[in-house]
Chains A and B, each alone.
Chain A
């Protein structure tokens, strides 16, 4: 726990106990993939959010849908940092570890802070489970947990006892045990239980009412167990964080992307067609968007990622905003169609929710290793706009921005997020309608002097014409086109001109972007340049170093193509003695961009 202070008094519950106040706590729930750890983690997250803490989460689950029980590779975890101050990451090391079986203990214990709290489900420490977890002796008995605050609890047995009259079968009863653990942690951190009761009820009442009752009963039993068994002699309290006033909800990155896309389309006054093909960790964008028909979003699941990109472009040709999302392997398949969209100069949004590569790689793990793929991974000179989200909530803003730029500049826009953002959650301040200005799309309807590739002077965008518009029938295609008429042209000078126009059009997007913000001095000793989801980790580290007196500064790139215009003081990005470019990839591929003014880095 980050900072502990002296006991401050008594709490309001039946049994008075001292309350320890701390600034922040990192807790990790770990168990078998069938143990419901993700659900447990997200319930605890909700409760922390409602209690006014700032927070950040990191779900970590195996790629196998139902890995063999008790195995090391079948362990599923959910980590959460909640604090009374601003939180940038889910935390490095948990202060509290809930381990539902030996495999979970084995894989997660090395991360636990020295003298951290450890809640273990003793019932799972059977011979077979210990063997599967490759333990030679029982760690609960052999003294190897010395130094930690161990709370051994027979979670399985207590859950069984609690539900013995429920009429549920043994298997269903066993599946409720995560709520017992959840209840205990609520007691431990002095969380109000009402929101959780409501949430469990909402989740199960409709489909499985008997489970709603059972889970609530077990949850309460866990909570009261903490109280009556007096295993946690103190309650730990994390105060509300001081956050900007307003309405909040919890949001995961992919949800933020989905509602951001719908918001962007609404602000552009366009129907949205999303075409997708399932892939981890992008699929939940498709799932979420497919619930928004009434909001103007149509989703179709098609035969592959090529078809998804094709259908999105077809829709854009028809006057909708076409959107498709995938992860690295799927985006690779979209490359040729994206090149066509560059040539057709139609709006298109492609979201890449990155995961570990190469090839199928690490589908459930995060990485930032597709940047060069998105910048350059097409044949010919085919520049597209690329921007990246930095936090789960930021996916919302970036998705709106992607739609706005795609429509205004008639270009494909790539939005880069990753598995860490997609599944991570944070409290999100719900915008007010008045906060966001609409940007209605314009369609050409005047047949007088119409040339399909005539350009807007400011944006270099060509006119967007909906098929069905009288007198404006025209043909577009992937063959090089005359810079004005759009007719097929093999003329070398025209080709040169078109290449330059396509490049310049993307560079013109710079006029939309403010100067890059620098966290720290413009002339420090070390400059850290980051992009995407490393924002939290870099901010935290840089702030810590700066508090310690180091002259470290940080710029975080949102736009990767084009890059932000040069900062007001050009020396800010002149080579500092050290330039660090941390990214979630081994070879840290921050843009070797061709944008003007950035050559120095």
Chain B
């Protein structure tokens, strides 16, 4: 264990030149992961980062951990095989919005359903960066790109809603430039046992600059972001506004204060709610009608796939101490020929 020497952020930086465009949001995400790993005392030799294909998926090359840059959309499959066979390893998946929600949509939902003990960072820039700017499954309807000069006609996915629907046990959202918050979310994901996914709003300054600016820019931030904190009332705009659920369970924005809605009526966030319906409802809050929630939507505990498989194995081994090649071969009717 190399964790006796305190690691620094730079201990996680590989000697490879980082090749993202200057100004790309990926730089900050890389830095926050490196910083958080250093602060967590993550053991580089016991960590594996597996990515798909996309700008974001170059990530493993820039880290000093073990890594695999795999194929488009399939990173969760490699990670699942690795984690099941080596449950003691710390396995992270890096993916983009196209990687995880178009070509890899199937693997993403099955990773959630199984609850494999993986940490997934979904870099959502709402665009295909690496292939030069086509619209992605998270792009807003009407998006004009080289492949949709008339504007896209399909409805976008909300990644948080998708994974909640697939049974995710830990779901969070953060922002590339919000370094403190992002570090906190990375640490929370690391601590979670089971699949943990963080949707990270990431700016692609070349093909989709300002995709999140209405939510992230300094002036809008207070009004447009709803910070989810477990056990705390859902307030925003400096505490002057809050979220209340009406009788139908539909969240509404209300003004809070004297002569307005009282603080008691504001919902207190509970990330541990058993039903995913609550988190799903929160995930429907979005610009421009509502503040966009950032933080942990859901953190619940469920047995993990890798544990379940390995417990079965231990039981099978205990039940059959005589298992050896000879007993494997001599099954069924055996006869002797002289």
Contacts and interface: CB of A to CB of B under 8 A. Distances in A.
Nearest to B88: A468
B330 A310 contact: no
Nearest to B77: A310
Interface stretch (B137-145, B204-212, B247-255, B312-320): B312-320
A344 interface: yes
Interface string A59-95: 0000000000000000000000000000000000000
Contacts of B31: none
Contact of B68 (A307, A336, A431, A476): A476
A286 B122 CA distance: 33
B246 interface: no
Contacts of A240: 337
Interface in B55-72: 60-61, 63-71
A430 B14 CA distance: 52
A322 B68 CA distance: 16
B150 interface: no
4 smallest A-B Cβ distances: which pairs?
A310-B77, A477-B69, A314-B81, A311-B81
A298 interface: yes
B107 A307 contact: yes
A250 B67 CA distance: 45
A317 interface: yes
Interface string B322-338: 01111011111111111
Interface in A300-332: 300, 302-304, 306-315, 317-320, 322
Given A300-B309, A430-B329, A470 B2 contact: yes
A186 B148 CA distance: 72
24 contacts: A50-B335, A199-B333, A248-B337, A249-B332, A249-B334, A259-B328, A263-B328, A273-B85, A294-B323, A300-B309, A302-B77, A313-B70, A314-B83, A320-B86, A336-B71, A433-B325, A466-B86, A467-B48, A468-B45, A473-B66, A475-B14, A477-B69, A478-B70, A478-B71
Nearest to A474: B66
Interface string A223-259: 0000000000000000010011111111000000001
B329 A475 contact: no
A565 interface: no
A313 B78 contact: yes
Interface of A: 46, 49-50, 52, 195, 199, 240, 243-250, 259, 262-263, 266, 271, 273, 275, 292-295, 298, 300, 302-304, 306-315, 317-320, 322, 336-337, 340, 344, 430-431, 433, 466-479, 487-488
Nearest to B83: A314
B193 interface: no
A468 B86 contact: yes
B64 A473 contact: yes
Interface residues of B, number: 60
Contact of A307 (B64, B74, B312): B74
A475 B61 contact: yes
Interface string B74-93: 10111111111110110000
B106 interface: yes
A488 B57 CA distance: 14
Contact of B81 (A262, A293, A322, A344): A322
Contacts of B85: 271, 273, 298, 314-315, 318-320
B164 interface: no
Contacts of B88: 468
Given A314-B83, A471-B45, 6 more contacts: A248-B334, A303-B106, A310-B78, A317-B48, A319-B86, A467-B86
Contact of B333 (A195, A304, A431, A477): A195
B39 interface: no
B313 A487 contact: no
A314 B89 contact: no
A179 B192 CA distance: 58
B50 A249 contact: no
A310 B66 contact: no
B16 interface: yes
A477 B60 contact: yes
Nearest to A318: B86
B227 interface: no
A508 B323 CA distance: 35
Contacts of A340: 70-71
A304 B74 CA distance: 11
Contacts of A266: 325
Contacts of A304: 106
Interface in B76-128: 76-86, 88-89, 106-107, 110
A310 to B, nearest CB: 3
B178 interface: no
